[in-house]
């Protein structure tokens, strides 16, 4: 893949990953090696009350578990993150262990910021404002999608402004990611598909991002190949542990790719749809991705040609954008994710508002070419209605 002569970049990721069926059994040892005596688990009410996952993690942590914050909400709000930090402080936490999807992991990242730097989470929004290491954080994903266990970003929903905002810093990387496929086996097919497509979007968008670089490209291409092969298997046979494990790895690779190369217009619009209409992040991304790929056909011809190979498509480079977009549409049908924006109450009258919100989203600046025109985004959104 070609890069400009002035290529320069920084590549960073979570420093240690432990993968394997039953990997959480060694949590006590992991915490001991970190010097933690009072780790607090960060999870959501469903996992805490409707599954045995919290009990399994507490048992693995043993006496090093000081308690659990179970108030994580979907698309976590600043208020929920601040509440979690307050509880962890009252428990004298010296480390955090997130258990769940991206919402739990992002919440733990935000809690670590507040516990280490004080104030409230919105006092710290922006990129590279943190100046020192934070409270140690072990991330245990139970979905294969966000890749948050590998990223330097946490997403915060601010209902007062009606939008999502971001905190980005290399200090936000967890110190350790534990990928245990047994924790994802009970995930429903619908959520498996939606979270898997979030990972696919991370990989594809980072591949044609304006910040793409050799290390992120390698992660993105491997993730695309693995998702193409294993996500349908997870849908078709929910207890396929091998496929579940491969998807966990793919999501982490895609998270590493986009944490370094960033995402683009597709995510900017998905963030806006999530904030305005409450659409699941992976679902919103999936509805838009084929149209975004076609929009950037000329600007991202070479990266999309590489993506085509990872998808197993035999096509000429000049036909790659259409070929990959068509493949993606068929892939969405195969995994049962065929939603339209109209299914969530979005109408043509809402499209300019969504596009305007996306203009203020930091992801948009990494698109393959500058996007400034509202009507160009409206036209893309209209195709997903």
Does pLDDT of 267 surpass 90?
Answer: yes
Q: Please say whether the beta carbons of 135 and 93 come within 8 A.
A: yes
Q: Please say whether the beta carbons of 206 and 257 come within 8 A.
A: yes
- Among residues 136, 230, 137, which one has the least CA distance to residue 184? 230
- Among residues 168, 159, 192, which one has the least CA distance to residue 73? 159
Q: What is the mean pLDDT of the chain?
A: 95
Which of 176-180, 242-246, 317-321 has the least mean pLDDT?
317-321
pLDDT of the residue at 234: 96
Residue 45 is encoded by which pair of tokens?
Answer: 């009410």
pLDDT of the residue at 319: 87
Q: What percent of the chain has pLDDT over 70?
A: 100
Tens digit of each residue's pLDDT (9 = 90 or more) over 15-62: 999 999 999 999 999 999 999 999 999 999 999 999 999 999 999 999
Average pLDDT over every residue of 91-119? 97
Does pLDDT of 375 surpass 70?
Answer: yes
Tens digit of each residue's pLDDT (9 = 90 or more) over 171-191: 999 999 999 999 999 889 999
Give residue 165's pLDDT band: very low, low, confident or very high (50, 70, 90): confident
Does pLDDT of 2 surpass 80?
Answer: no
The matching CATH number, chosen from 3.40.140.10, 3.40.50.1970, 3.40.190.10, 3.40.50.620, for 17-184 is 3.40.50.1970
Tens digit of each residue's pLDDT (9 = 90 or more) over 322-362: 999 999 999 999 999 999 999 999 999 999 999 999 999 98
pLDDT of the residue at 158: 84
| Higher-scoring residue by pLDDT: 229, 321 | 229
Does pLDDT of 72 surpass 90?
Answer: yes
CB atoms within 10 A of CB 105: 32
Give residue 159's pLDDT band: very low, low, confident or very high (50, 70, 90): confident
CATH 1.20.1090.10, applies to 189-383: yes
Q: Measured between alpha carbons, how far is 277 from 236 in angstroms, rounded to an integer?
A: 29
pLDDT of the residue at 226: 98
Tens digit of each residue's pLDDT (9 = 90 or more) over 198-216: 999 999 999 999 999 999 9
Q: Please say whether the beta carbons of 152 and 12 come within 8 A.
A: yes
Domain residue spans in the chain?
17-184, 189-383
CA 224, 335, 239, 248 dihedral sign is positive
pLDDT of the residue at 1: 66
């Amino acid at each position: 893949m070609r890069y400009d002569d002035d290529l320069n970049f920084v590549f960073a990721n979570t420093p240690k990953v432990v993968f394997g069926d039953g990997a959480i059994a060694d949590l006590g040892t992991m915490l001991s090696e970190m010097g933690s005596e009072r780790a607090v688990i960060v999870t959501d009410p469903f996992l805490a009350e409707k599954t045995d996952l919290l009990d399994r993690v507490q048992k693995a942590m043993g006496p090093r578990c000081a308690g659990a914050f179970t108030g994580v909400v979907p698309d976590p709000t600043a208020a929920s993150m601040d509440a979690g930090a307050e509880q962890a402080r009252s428990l004298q936490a010296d480390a955090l262990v997130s258990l769940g999807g991206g919402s739990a992991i992002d919440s733990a990242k935000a809690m670590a910021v507040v516990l280490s730097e004080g104030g409230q989470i919105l006092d710290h929004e922006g990129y590279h404002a943190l100046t020192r290491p934070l409270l140690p954080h072990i991330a245990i994903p139970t979905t294969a999608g966000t890749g948050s266990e590998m990223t330097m970003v946490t997403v915060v929903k601010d209902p007062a402004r009606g939008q999502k905002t971001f905190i980005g810093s290399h200090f936000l990387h967890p110190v350790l990611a534990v990928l245990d496929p047994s924790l994802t086996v009970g995930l429903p097919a619908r959520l498996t598909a939606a979270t898997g497509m979030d990972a696919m979007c991370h990989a594809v968008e980072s591949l044609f991002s304006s910040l793409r670089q050799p290390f992120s490209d390698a992660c993105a291409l491997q993730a695309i190949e693995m998702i193409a092969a294993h996500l349908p298997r997870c849908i078709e046979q929910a207890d396929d542990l091998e496929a579940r494990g491969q998807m966990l790895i793919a999501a982490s690779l895609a998270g590493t790719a986009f944490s370094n190369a960033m995402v683009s217009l597709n995510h900017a619009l998905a963030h806006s749809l999530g904030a305005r209409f409450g659409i699941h992040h992976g679902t919103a991304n999936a509805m838009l991705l084929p149209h975004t790929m076609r929009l950037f056909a000329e600007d991202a011809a070479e990266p999309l040609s590489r993506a085509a190979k990872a998808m197993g498509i035999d096509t000429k480079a000049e036909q790659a954008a259409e070929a990959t977009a068509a493949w993606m549409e068929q892939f969405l049908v195969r995994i049962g994710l065929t939603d339209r924006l109209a299914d969530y109450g979005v109408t043509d009258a809402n499209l300019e508002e969504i596009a305007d919100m996306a203009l203020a989203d930091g992801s948009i600046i990494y698109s393959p070419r500058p996007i400034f025109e509202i009507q160009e985004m409206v036209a893309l959104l209209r195709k997903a209605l």
